[in-house]
């Protein structure tokens, strides 16, 4: 299988949003995505986030959406917001190729830390991250406030 990794463009935002919705369905939150295509396009134009897309035979098979942030303890940090491979492309090595490409991007950006979240019930993802020698923390709790 020939997997091609490329950076997303503004034209890809509809595909990115579709993948985010697919991920929300997988994560049992099908109605949680309220961001619009316009929101994605504006944020992309403002360089709030970046996306790497995996293509197989010209079809987008998955993506990683990430952005720069800062760790007051470690310095420059890359945050992986969304990592999704379409259901029809899973178990074919695409996730590993995407994850490796993200790690290369982190090194290129000279960050000291790559960070993300995984749901405690998502055993396939947890096993994937463990296989990639990731540290899975149990002592930190997520906090958030929604502004409407």
Q: Among residues 71, 68, 36, which one has the least CA distance to residue 49?
A: 68
CATH of domain 3-131: 3.40.630.30
Q: Tell me, what's the pLDDT at 1?
A: 80
Cα–Cα distance measured from residue 145 to residue 129, given in angstroms and rounded to the nearest whole number: 27
Domain ranges of the chain: 3-131
Q: Tell me, what's the pLDDT at 141?
A: 87
Known catalytic residues are 129
Q: Tell me, what's the pLDDT at 109?
A: 98
- Spatial contact of 118 and 129, defined as CB atoms under 8 Å apart: yes
Longest C-alpha distance within the chain, in Å?
A: 44
Which residues does residue 137 pair with via DSSP β-bridges, in sequence order?
none
pTM: 0.95
Cα–Cα distance measured from residue 102 to residue 129, given in angstroms and rounded to the nearest whole number: 13
pLDDT of the chain, 148 residues: tens digit per residue = 899 999 999 999 999 999 999 999 999 999 999 999 999 999 999 999 999 999 999 999 999 999 999 999 999 999 999 999 999 999 999 999 999 999 999 999 999 999 999 999 999 999 999 999 999 998 998 999 989 7
Cα angle: 15, vertex 18, 22; to 5 degrees: 135
Q: Among residues 68, 114, 87, which one has the least CA distance to residue 23?
A: 87
């Amino acid at each position: 299988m020939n997997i091609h990794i490329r950076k997303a463009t503004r034209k890809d935002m509809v595909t990115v949003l579709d993948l985010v919705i697919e991920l929300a369905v997988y994560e049992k939150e099908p109605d949680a995505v309220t961001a619009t295509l316009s929101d994605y396009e504006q944020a992309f134009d403002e360089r709030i986030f970046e996306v790497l897309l995996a293509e197989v035979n010209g079809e987008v098979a998955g993506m990683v959406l990430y952005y720069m942030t800062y760790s007051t303890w470690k310095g420059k940090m890359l945050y992986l917001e969304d990592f999704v491979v379409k259901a029809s492309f899973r178990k074919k090595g695409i996730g590993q190729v995407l994850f490796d490409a993200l790690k290369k991007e982190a090194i290129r950006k000279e960050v000291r830390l790559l960070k993300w979240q995984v749901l405690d019930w998502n055993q396939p993802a947890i096993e994937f991250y463990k296989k990639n020698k990731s540290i899975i923390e149990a002592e930190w709790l997520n906090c958030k406030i929604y502004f409407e």
